[in-house]
Amino acid sequence: MTQTIDMQTMRHLNLFGKITRIRTRFCFKYNEMIFFCVPRQLISQAIGRDGENVKKMYSILGKKIKIIPEPRGIEDIRGFIESITSPVQFNEIEVSDKEVILNSGRQSKAALIGRNKRRLNEMQLIVKNFFGKDFRII
């Protein structure tokens, strides 16, 4: 993953590390939520008892926080994208050598693209950073 970390992302990562005592390099925004990717075995520790770590970060940042497992490879791409886009559902996902294609219904497609293609552009950047592939919705 080759991602340029700006100052705001660095602040989010430092705050996450101080509150949860887990160091991670993966932080991104999607749909006005801040996502943190941690190893699968550390998710419950990152969330905290009764979600106290997430609630504390929400009160400090004022944005919704979501902690998801970091993908181990291209085989985890479906679960990774589902965890980011939930509760919006999609039909299927096709992975080729150069791109990832998401098939969805009409209502879901509109929700996944967003106004002025904002969510589509965010997801394209996320997929490019994590998997090195282009992203399309059909």
Contact 84, 97 (CB under 8 A): no
Question: For residues 55 and 49, what is the distance between their CA atoms, to the nearest angstrom?
Answer: 11
Q: How confident is the model at residue 15 (pLDDT cuts 50, 70, 90)?
A: very high
What is the CATH number that goes with domain 74-137? 3.30.300.20
Mean pLDDT for the stretch of residues 56-84: 93
Check whether 1 has a pLDDT greater than 60.
no
Question: For residues 131 and 21, what is the distance between their CA atoms, to the nearest angstrom?
Answer: 27
Question: For residues 131 and 63, what is the distance between their CA atoms, to the nearest angstrom?
Answer: 26
73-101 pLDDT, tens digit each: 888 899 999 999 988 989 999 999 899 99
What is the residue-averaged pLDDT of the chain?
92
pLDDT value for 33: 95
| DSSP output for 10-51 | HHHHHHHHHHH----SEEEEETTEEEEEE-GGGHHHHH-GGG
pLDDT value for 73: 85
Quote the pTM value: 0.89
Mean pLDDT for the stretch of residues 113-126: 94
CATH superfamily of this structure's domain 7-69: K homology (KH) domain (3.30.300.20)
Q: Where in the chain is the domain with CATH 3.30.300.20?
A: 7-69, 74-137
19-40 pLDDT, tens digit each: 999 999 999 999 999 999 999 9
